[in-house]
Amino acid sequence: MMTPSSIPRPDVSVVIASVESAHSIDACVRSVRAALEGTRAELLVVDASEDGSARIAEAQLGKSGVLRCSPGTLTPELWAIGIARSTGRTIALTTGHFVVERTWATSLMSALEGGHVGAAGYVDLAPEATATDCAVFYLRYAGFLRDDQQPARRDVVGIPADNAVYDGDAARRFVATTGDGFWEVDFHRQVRAQGGRLAAVAGATAFYGRSFPFRTIANHRFHHGRHAGAWRVSQKERSAPAMVAAAPLVPFVLAARAWRHIRPGTPHRRRFVRALPIFLALASAWAIGEAVGAVGGPPAARYPIPTMA
């Protein structure tokens, strides 16, 4: 008879953070399940929506595979809740707005076998993405666009947690220590400070499609910016007055940075230009959040993060 301690650990635990994902969560879960075929895996959707996303996910995974949280819970908090409950040797993260390719899981996990603590695939836009979806995509992922001319990069500075896999024990330790969410930039800094490495790999592309309503993503960008502003002041990267003074310029700096990442001659340039007014509005929400966080501190966690036993 097998005891709980003798049951093999899953090769990978996949945590899907779902925020207003009704348009895409069904396709997301189906694509992840297809990519997990042949592996020992556990899959959990952690949802904080008002649009029925959790019910759609439950139709595929059952109620035990979906954890419902309060609307307004931020994506890093949803990831942290799933990470704390996971048992896999590795932990893959994404959101309910992505659809992944069939080789997604094996490609990501193979990078960790080379000694990396984290690895991510590239991202691309799905054809059905709206102007708001495009604005979110370029604001968040312009630095990680799929580029067939450079399919793999080792020892990179940062990766998008929305399409990444991490050493499971390292991610769980981080969540248990911080207690306020899996903020990927903070985790990546810690990994590099401890001599760990991150990689970008081919064969693990995730496609971003229909996503948030504008009001929801603007609210989330504000709170993410607030966290970033508070962190930068606490680490003495910038002073609070300097961040407040620079806030009006931040949206234009972010737009210029995104534009530099988009290769000429690709459809991304046309889609970026079409989405630019919404991009600037969302970047403004981030900039205001940074200024507020620099002065008033980070947002309070919306949901308690479980600690490891």
Q: What CA–CA distance (Å, rounded) separates 225 from 231?
A: 10
Measured on CA atoms in the order 22, 71, 63, 161, is the torsion positive or negative? positive
Q: So what's the pLDDT on residue 3?
A: 43
The residue among 211, 232, 261 that closes a domain is 211
The residue among 173, 193, 211 that closes a domain is 211
Q: What CA–CA distance (Å, rounded) separates 76 from 198?
A: 19
Residue 135 sits in the same domain as residue 270: no
β-pair type (12-18, 90-95): parallel
Residue type, 164: A
Which positions ≥6 away from 300 have C-beta within 8 Å? none
For 167, phi and psi rounded to 5 degrees? -55, 125
Structural domain boundaries enclosing 83? 4-211
Q: Is residue 306 part of a domain?
A: no
Residue 243 sits in the same domain as residue 184: no
Q: So what's the pLDDT on residue 150?
A: 62
Q: So what's the pLDDT on residue 148?
A: 66
The residue among 183, 211, 239 that closes a domain is 211
Cα angle: 235, vertex 237, 238; to 5 degrees? 120
Q: Is residue 308 part of a domain?
A: no
- Residues 208/97, Cβ–Cβ less than 8 Å: yes
Residue 166 sits in the same domain as residue 220: no
Question: 40: domain CATH number?
Answer: 3.90.550.10
Q: So what's the pLDDT on residue 308?
A: 42
Q: Is residue 149 part of a domain?
A: yes
| Cα 2 to chain centroid, rounded | 36
β-pair type (12-18, 118-125): unpaired
Residue 196 sits in the same domain as residue 55: yes
Q: So what's the pLDDT on residue 170?
A: 95
Nearest to 90 by CA among 174, 166, 38, 17: 166
pTM: 0.91
Q: So what's the pLDDT on residue 283?
A: 97
Q: So what's the pLDDT on residue 178?
A: 84
β-pair type (198-208, 153-154): antiparallel
DSSP bridge pairs for 207: 99, 124
Write the DSSP symbol of residue 145: B
Q: Is residue 303 part of a domain?
A: no
How many domains are contained in the chain? 2
Q: For residue 260, what are its two tokens? A: 């530099």
DSSP bridge pairs for 100: 206
Residue 35 sits in the same domain as residue 140: yes
Residue 187 sits in the same domain as residue 252: no
Residue that the structure tokens 């949901």 belong to: 303
Q: What CA–CA distance (Å, rounded) separates 146 from 136?
A: 16
Residue 53 sits in the same domain as residue 63: yes
pLDDT in tens, the chain (309 residues): 444 555 688 999 999 999 999 999 999 999 999 999 999 999 999 999 998 999 999 999 999 999 999 998 999 999 999 999 999 999 999 999 999 999 999 999 988 887 899 999 999 999 999 999 999 999 999 989 887 666 667 778 889 999 999 999 999 999 998 878 899 999 999 999 999 999 999 889 999 998 989 999 999 999 999 999 998 898 888 899 999 999 999 999 999 999 999 988 788 999 999 999 999 999 999 999 999 999 988 777 665 555 443
β-pair type (12-18, 98-100): unpaired
- Residues 220/285, Cβ–Cβ less than 8 Å: no
